[in-house]
């Protein structure tokens, strides 16, 4: 039995680090917690999790789960939560969990709170702090009942150190034939890249609409990111204009990042974008408009034409 079940994401080869931050929220809730991993061929991934302080690493390993089809994954997650008596189900705030965990919450008939930033106590009862209105305000939410589903904003919680005594790995058996089959896997498109993952990079360089075209975007944004060993991000406007792929999008409707250094090139600072970068340690803004809202949040600002300034900056970084 485990009071909390933490859903761990992976890319078939290794655990996605942002999902580990949800373990810290599980620890703050108190009581025992177990880690749940779904997929096929999970021996190495499960072994990498045994020292995270959990009571067990629960593995649902079957060919029927080789692809993350939401209806199947949600059914198995709900079955695991019920079998192990988990009152709380936690995942990280990601596209994966947004697709799957609301379905699991419905199957469990449990309320759900997304993007949890912190735990609070209101009149002696547990509550959760989360962003609302594109991150411009914070809401404190209480839920009724003893069961709930949560997603944790990774930038709000430190990743736990893997220094605990190893825990057992338990296989979760289920009937693959009983799983829903309303979805069918068609194909997977994945770009090979030597750049770090956007949500894990120490440095992120993002560009906005003034980059004009994909070639200029890659030359300036990609060039500076490569010079700094960082990842590439983009605003929604840049993605919609075809300058960058969708998985580069940073902001309320994209990825939330918290690197040590975030460089915003040609980004005015719409509230939806700022919601995705506000936890960055240092923000550098490059914009020709001195009144751009991004400068109100930026640690450092550079006013000027990015098409002239950024090549000079790239050259200076490479010389340095």
Distance CA 183, CA 165 (A): 40
- Nearest one of 262, 303, 311 to 284, comparing CA atoms: 262
- Nearest one of 46, 34, 64, 63 to 10, comparing CA atoms: 46
- Nearest one of 112, 54, 41 to 78, comparing CA atoms: 112
* Pairing mode of beta strands 282-287, 261-265: parallel
Domains of the chain: 4-178 (3.40.50.620), 203-319 (3.40.50.1220)
Distance CA 29, CA 249 (A): 32
Q: For residues 303, 308, 311 and 317, what is the CA-based torsion angle, rounded to 10 degrees?
A: -30
Question: What are the tens digits of pLDDT across the range 34-51?
Answer: 999 999 999 999 999 999
Work out the average pLDDT over 300-315: 95
> Is the predicted pLDDT of residue 268 greater than 70, yes or no?
yes
- In angstroms, how far is the first alpha carbon of the chain from the final one? 55
What pLDDT is stored for residue 197 in this prediction? 86
- Nearest one of 194, 230, 220, 217 to 314, comparing CA atoms: 220
* Pairing mode of beta strands 118-122, 125-132: antiparallel
Lowest mean pLDDT, pick from 74-83, 132-141, 180-189, 263-272: 132-141
Question: What are the tens digits of pLDDT across the range 210-258?
Answer: 999 999 999 999 999 999 999 999 999 999 999 999 989 999 888 889 8
- With beta carbons less than 8 A apart as the criterion, state whether 20 and 43 touch: no
Work out the average pLDDT over 73-89: 96
Tokens representing 11?
Answer: 């890319």
What pLDDT is stored for residue 192 in this prediction? 67
Supply φ then ψ for residue 160, to 5 degrees.
-75, 150
- Return the residue matching tokens 């991150």: 135
Distance of CA 110 to CAs 10, 85, 99, 144, 150, Å?
Answer: 25, 13, 16, 9, 10
SS3 track for 71-116: HHHHHHHHHHHHHCCCCEEEEECCHHHHHHHHHHHHHHCCCEEEEE
> Is the predicted pLDDT of residue 194 greater than 90, yes or no?
no
Lowest mean pLDDT, pick from 86-90, 168-172, 177-181, 194-198: 194-198
- With beta carbons less than 8 A apart as the criterion, state whether 300 and 264 touch: no
Q: Is 162 exposed, middle or buried (0-12, 13-18, 19+ CB in 10 A)?
A: middle
């Amino acid at each position: 039995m485990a009071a909390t079940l933490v859903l761990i994401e992976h890319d078939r080869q290794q655990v996605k680090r942002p999902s580990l931050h949800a373990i810290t929220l599980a620890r703050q809730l108190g009581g025992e917690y177990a880690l749940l991993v779904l997929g096929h061929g999970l021996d190495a991934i499960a072994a990498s999790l045994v020292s995270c302080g959990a009571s067990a690493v629960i593995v649902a390993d079957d060919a029927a789960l080789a692809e993350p089809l939401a209806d199947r994954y949600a059914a198995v997650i709900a079955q695991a939560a019920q079998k192990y008596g988990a009152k709380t189900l936690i995942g990280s705030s990601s596209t994966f969990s947004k697709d799957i965990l609301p379905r699991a919450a419905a199957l469990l008939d449990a309320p759900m709170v997304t993007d949890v930033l912190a735990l609070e106590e209101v009149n002696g009862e547990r509550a959760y702090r989360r962003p609302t209105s594109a991150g411009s305000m914070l809401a404190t939410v209480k839920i009724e009942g003893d069961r709930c589903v949560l997603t944790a904003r990774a930038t709000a919680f430190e990743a736990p150190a893997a220094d605990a005594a190893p825990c057992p790995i338990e296989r979760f058996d289920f009937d693959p034939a009983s799983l829903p089959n309303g979805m069918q896997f068609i194909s997977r498109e994945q770009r090979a890249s030597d750049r770090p993952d956007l949500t894990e990079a120490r440095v992120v360089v993002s560009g906005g609409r003034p980059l004009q075209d994909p070639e200029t975007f890659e030359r300036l944004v990609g060039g500076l990111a490569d010079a700094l060993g960082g990842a590439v991000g983009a605003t929604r406007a840049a993605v919609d204009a075809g300058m960058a792929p969708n998985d580069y999008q940073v902001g309320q409707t994209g990825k939330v990042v918290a690197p040590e250094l975030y460089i915003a090139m040609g980004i005015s600072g719409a509230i939806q974008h700022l919601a995705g970068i506000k936890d960055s340690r240092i923000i550098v803004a490059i914009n020709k408009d001195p009144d751009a809202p991004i400068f109100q949040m930026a640690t450092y600002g550079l006013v000027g034409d990015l098409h002239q300034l950024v090549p000079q900056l790239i050259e200076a970084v490479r010389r340095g």
